Amino acid sequence: MHRLVDGFLIAMLCLAPMGCIPGYIDTRFKDVTTDPRFAFGYHVGESYRLRRDTRLIAMKYGPFGNTERFELWSPQDIANDWRHQSGARTVAEVPAGTLIHVDGRDYSHMFAIPPVLGMDLDVLYAYGTIKCSAGSWSHVQLPNDQDVTKWSWIPGASVLRPLPDLDSLEPVTPTTSSATVH
């Protein structure tokens, strides 16, 4: 049995550089709402209004897809993202004008075995509460700005800090944060 497992791992190590799918992918999340190093982008207590219709998507994470998280996706995100084809499901249509209240921040740590270039990555996200005619959800991941050239590293944390997606969201509470910068 060990030879079979070892042979599989060796094959995966050899095939991974050729673009093959890794044998194990996992994403874990850590809440950093109270850590001042991560006070960037969205801030707890802010509110945003959706500029366009959006979908609430349930994504499965964890080594066996046993953890489900809610994320806001625009129709363009769904059309362009392979994850929607691999187990993500639409929970609700969220209409333009819906308010979102920022409740906290966490970051994701994604890694693969064998390692795949670009797969081992930590990204900061905000989460919040949505209430609309379709229902109410908490701990919903808010969208980040898709222009990764605006993203930066959090000093000493090796975590990418993107800006809020101001193409999709309009700030409705006053803020002095970078969230209002275009």
The sign of the CA dihedral 109, 110, 113, 114 is negative
52 Rama sector, left if φ>0, alpha if ψ -120 to 50, beta otherwise: beta
pTM for the full model? 0.74
> Could you report how far apart the first and last alpha carbons of the chain are, in Å?
57
Measure the CA–CA gap between 136 and 129, rounded to whole angstroms: 7
Least confident residue range of 4-8, 15-19, 52-56, 124-128: 4-8
Mean pLDDT of 37-66: 87
**What range defines the domain where residue 155 resides?**
36-173
Question: Mean pLDDT across the chain, nearest whole number?
Answer: 77
In a domain, 25, yes or no: no
pLDDT at residue 51 tops 70: yes
For 160, residues 6+ apart whose C-beta sits below 8 A from its C-beta are 121, 122, 123, 124, 151, 152, 153, 154
Q: Is the pLDDT of residue 15 over 70?
A: no
Give the percent of the chain with pLDDT over 70.
Answer: 71
Whether 1 is in a domain gets the answer no
Q: Would residue 5 count as lying in a domain?
A: no
- Is 131:95 a contact under the CB 8 Å cutoff? no
Is residue 29 situated within a structural domain?
no
Residue 21 falls within a domain, yes or no? no
Q: Is the pLDDT of residue 84 over 80?
A: no
Residue 107 lies in a domain: yes
Which pLDDT score, from 0 to 100, does residue 22 have? 59
> Is 31 domain-assigned?
no
**Calpha distance 24→35 (Å, rounded):** 30
Supply the pLDDT for residue 16.
Answer: 46
Q: Count of domains in the chain?
A: 1
